[in-house]
């Protein structure tokens, strides 16, 4: 089925809903459509990523074991795999 056929099928199904069913489906559909939108990074998030990339390019990186060890020391009550 192509996208036009799928859209028409959905429209027919929506057309057959009673008012309360339609409202429920409408709100669910809105949530799905919202989640399909791309997430736009904030300026603060962009700056944090740029900073992390710069640090990485300068060779200031940590191994997995170093990060795990520091996390275990900082959060001793968490269970790490």
User: Which of the four pLDDT bands, split at 50, 70 and 90, describes residue 13?
Assistant: very high
3-state secondary structure of 2: coil
Q: Is the CB of residue 68 less than 8 Å from the CB of residue 80?
A: yes
In this prediction, residues 4-16 reach a mean pLDDT of 93
Q: Is the CB of residue 72 less than 8 Å from the CB of residue 80?
A: yes
| 23 pLDDT higher than 90 | yes
pTM greater than the 0.75 cutoff: no
pLDDT tens for each residue of 30-46? 988 888 777 788 999 99
Residue 17 CA to chain centroid, in angstroms?
31
Rounded CA separation 33/10 (Å): 15
| 80 pLDDT higher than 90 | no
Q: Where are the domains of the chain?
A: 3-36, 43-74
Phi then psi for 62, rounded to 5 degrees? -125, 150
What is the pLDDT, as a whole number, of residue 52? 92
């Amino acid at each position: 089925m192509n996208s036009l056929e799928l859209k028409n099928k959905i429209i027919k199904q929506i057309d057959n809903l009673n008012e309360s069913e339609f409202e429920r489906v409408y709100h669910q559909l809105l949530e799905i459509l919202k989640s399909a939108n791309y997430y736009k990074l904030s300026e603060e998030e962009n700056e944090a990523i740029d900073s992390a990339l710069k640090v990485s390019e300068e060779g200031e990186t940590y191994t997995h074991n170093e990060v795990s060890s520091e996390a275990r020391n900082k959060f001793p009550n968490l269970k790490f795999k």
